[in-house]
Amino acid sequence: MVYTSEHPIFYVTTDIVVLTLMDGVLSALAVRRDEDPHAGELALPGGFVREGEDLDAAARRRLADETGVEVDELVLEQLRTYGAPDRDPTRGRVVSVAHLSVIPAPLAASPGARTREALWLPVAELPGTLAFDHNQILDDAIERTKAKLEYTALATSFLDAEFTLAELRSVYESIWGSELDPGNFQRKIRNSEDFVEPTGQTRRSPSGRGRPAELFRARKRRTEQLASPLTRVAL
């Protein structure tokens, strides 16, 4: 491999914003850094991309390594690349390709084997607590997530494979911070081509009371475009 030195040298990292709903609270995964730039501070999981490694493969690997989050069909999309010249002055020119991932709460609650100090922080309680430009990255990720709920099947990524429409509705309500009419929500989802499909089974509500709800599964594999957007259903 030929490295001509006529061009400046960069290091490339990936940072991953992993979002989940912990009891209805939008939360992001953070790790406490033990290496020196910003050692001891909180940051997004991430790290250097290896030789011959794809950008999203690096994100997947670091996520598994640092936090134990490892899924076969993990929703992971590129968010944006952050490359301000002074964003990591101690280590040279470091460009970070940020990724966004959304996982179901139960998965989030079971830390894997190699988990160091990884913790879920409600995004509302993160005014400026993260190292580097990670607060900016987190903000961008949240904005993108809110927007994508409207025109993709992303909401289902916060839930397990099978879910009730009430659970799905509560994803929207939690993230948008507004209440949705249950009846109208029901119709919109059922009428959206290719969004969800019934499993034929039902599940009783956690309290045990009330009519059992039908179970659905996502038809689109999680974050694809919807035929028609959902338009923030009103109260």
Partner DNA sequence: TCAAAAGTGTTTTTTTTACACCCATGC
Partner DNA sequence: GCATGGGTGTAAAAAAAACACTTTTGA
Q: Which CB, 55 or 64, lies closer to a second copy? A: 55
Can 117 be counted among the known catalytic residues?
yes
Among 81, 184, 191, 205, binds a second copy (CB under 8 A): 81
Strand 118-122, strand 196-203: pairing: unpaired
DSSP assignment string, 221-235: -SSPBPSS-------
The DSSP letter of residue 50 is: P
Indicate which of a second copy, DNA, none lies near residue 11 (CB less than 5 to 8 Å, by partner kind).
a second copy
Q: What are the CA-CA distances from residue 234 to residues 33, 187, 222 (Å)?
A: 42, 13, 24
Q: Which residue has the tokens 């994508």?
A: 148
Angle between helices 165-176 and 134-151 (to 10 degrees): 140
Shortest distance, position 167 Cβ to DNA, whole Å: 7
Does position 61 interact with a second copy (CB under 8 A)? The reply is no
First to last CA, the chain: 60
Does position 75 interact with a second copy (CB under 8 A)? The reply is no
Shortest distance, position 220 Cβ to DNA, whole Å: 18
Among 25, 42, 48, 116, binds a second copy (CB under 8 A): 48
Among 35, 40, 52, 234, binds a second copy (CB under 8 A): 52
Check 117, 143, 162, 224 and give the catalytic one.
117
Q: Can you point out the beta strands (E) in 103-207?
A: 118-122, 162-163, 196-203
Per-residue burial over 48-77, b if 16 or more Cβ lie within 10 Å, else e, is ebeeeeeebebbbbbbbbbbbbeeeebbbe
Indicate which of a second copy, DNA, none lies near residue 125 (CB less than 5 to 8 Å, by partner kind).
none
| CA atoms of 18 and 46, how far apart (whole Å) | 11
Shortest distance, position 35 Cβ to a second copy, whole Å: 11
Q: Which CB, 136 or 174, lies closer to DNA? A: 174
Indicate which of DNA, a second copy, none lies near residue 84 (CB less than 5 to 8 Å, by partner kind).
a second copy
Binding site for DNA (CB under 7 A): 164-166, 181-184, 186-188, 190, 202, 204-205, 207-214, 228, 231-235
Mark out the alpha helices in 116-181 (DSSP H runs).
Answer: 134-151, 165-176
Shortest distance, position 234 Cβ to DNA, whole Å: 4
Shortest distance, position 215 Cβ to DNA, whole Å: 8
Q: Which residues bind a second copy (CB under 8 A)?
A: 1-4, 7-12, 48-55, 78, 80-81, 83-85, 90-93, 95, 97
Give the residue numbers annotated as catalytic, written as ranges: 117
